[in-house]
Amino acid sequence: MRYSLSREAFLKPLQQVVNVVERRQTLPVLANLLVQVENGKLSMTGTDLEVEMVAHCAVEDSQPGEATIPARKLFEIVRALPDGARVTVSHAADKATIQAGRSRFTLATLSSQDFPAIEDLELVERIRVSESALKELIERTAFAMAQQDVRYYLNGLLLDLRESSLRCVATDGHRLALCETALPSGAQTRKQIIVPRKGVLELQRLLEESDGEIELEVARNHLRMRREDVSFTCKLIDGRFPDYEAVIPIGADKEVKVDREVFRAALQRAAILSNEKYRGVKLEVSPGQLRIMAHNPEQEEAQEEIEAQTRVDGLSVGFNVTYLLDALSALRDPEILLNLRDGNSSALLREASHERSRHVVMPLRL
């Protein structure tokens, strides 16, 4: 096996694939990339048995073959080479040689026969979606995923495929984030799948602000994303996601309209004097104004008043300030709506112009 290409052309696909490879491995071959050359095309595969990434690029002066090469070492070598360098990789016996100008490196390889491959997928659904739209959905919701929760089905992101839309939903039991986008072609059947945390973070890193479409293939136990230069596959969480629509407050008729940036800045200031453990702030609503208050065990207090378009009077409710700030960071409009019912009910935050993105925050007793 032999191939040649520029450092820059090599580095981008290498960077995509090396992120999947875990630093601590149960099998030595999992620390390697499967490198295959055929018909002037280079394919690199990395996996941790849960997630698999395959990146492609064109190469010159190539001879077909395959081998597994240590992932991190190859990436560090290519990254450290000077800009514009021409890289030639050749493989013979159990060694791979990387040459660039006067630099030469020899790496130990393992047999490609030992490299695990994800079995062929039995597809149950295939949809096409705008790459930038999927990236936005994940960015607006992924922060609300649970981390190492015993309710394992919360440690991931729900993709709810509907007839004409795709929804992403995440919750950790204390807050919920939902965002949806239209699907021109739609899904043939309504289906819900849960993508694990690592898969979500890799997808988020991989997706670009592109107007082009990508293909999502849903199998019984896997999700695969295909783009021209890369394909990404991950196992799905085998579990049932809670009925998230039941969590979205109904009858939260007390509406408060505020400037998002003004509200966010006021919360950040008040948070300085909130209890470090509970991070609680109290919101008091009165006509034309929203008051934010925080205090801590040292008897220190913070109070902020901001203008608000509301007729609500005498409503007081406590929240974890971190959850409110996270929700505000995921919203984009200059003005947001805060819908409340009473002092013991969840708050619904959304943008004033549409309901495409919604955030629910559970109350906190202060």
For residue 320, the model assigns a pLDDT of 97
Residues whose CB falls within 8 Å of the CB of residue 80, separated by 6 or more in sequence, listed in order: none
For residue 224, the model assigns a pLDDT of 96
On whether the 2-114 domain is CATH 3.10.150.10, my answer is yes
pLDDT tens digits along 116-171 = 987 778 899 999 999 999 999 999 999 999 999 999 999 999 999 998 999 999 99
What are phi and psi for residue 76, nearest 5 degrees? -65, -40
Residue 186 pLDDT > 80, yes or no? no
For residue 20, the model assigns a pLDDT of 92
**285 vs 48, 164, 258, 341, 342, CA distance in Å?**
50, 38, 11, 12, 11
**Which CATH topology does 248-361 take?**
DNA Polymerase III; Chain A, domain 2 (3.10.150)
Domain boundary assignment for the chain: 2-114, 123-245, 248-361
Q: What percent of the chain has pLDDT over 70?
A: 100
Q: What's the distance, CA 124 to chain centroid?
A: 23
pTM above 0.85, yes or no: yes
Q: What is the DSSP string of 275-325?
A: -TTT-EEEEEEETTEEEEEEE-TTS-EEEEEEE-B----SEEEEEEHHHHH
Residue 251 pLDDT > 90, yes or no? no
pLDDT tens digits along 194-216 = 999 999 999 999 999 988 999 99
pLDDT tens digits along 4-46 = 999 999 999 999 999 999 888 889 999 999 999 999 999 999 9
**178 vs 54, 142, 163, 215, 350, CA distance in Å?**
30, 9, 17, 22, 10
Query: Looking up tokens 């919203």, which residue turns up?
Result: 331
Instruction: State the first-to-last Cα distance of the chain, in angstroms, to the nearest integer.
Output: 67
Would you say the CATH fold of 248-361 matches that of 2-114?
yes
**Which CATH topology does 123-245 take?**
DNA Polymerase III; Chain A, domain 2 (3.10.150)
* Beta-bridge mates of residue 258: 336
Cβ–Cβ under 8 Å, residues 233 and 52: yes
Kindly state the average pLDDT of the residues 332-360.
95
For residue 157, the model assigns a pLDDT of 98
Residues whose CB falls within 8 Å of the CB of residue 149, separated by 6 or more in sequence, listed in order: 155, 172, 173
pLDDT tens digits along 317-327 = 999 999 999 99
Radius of gyration of the chain (CA): 25
Cβ–Cβ under 8 Å, residues 237 and 194: yes
Give 294-303's long-range contacts (Cβ < 8 A, gap of 24+): 294/270, 294/321, 300/273, 301/273, 302/269, 302/270, 302/272, 302/273, 302/274, 303/270
For residue 118, the model assigns a pLDDT of 78
Cβ–Cβ under 8 Å, residues 94 and 12: no
For residue 185, the model assigns a pLDDT of 79
Residues whose CB falls within 8 Å of the CB of residue 158, separated by 6 or more in sequence, listed in order: 167, 168, 169, 170, 192, 193, 194, 241, 244
Cβ–Cβ under 8 Å, residues 215 and 128: yes
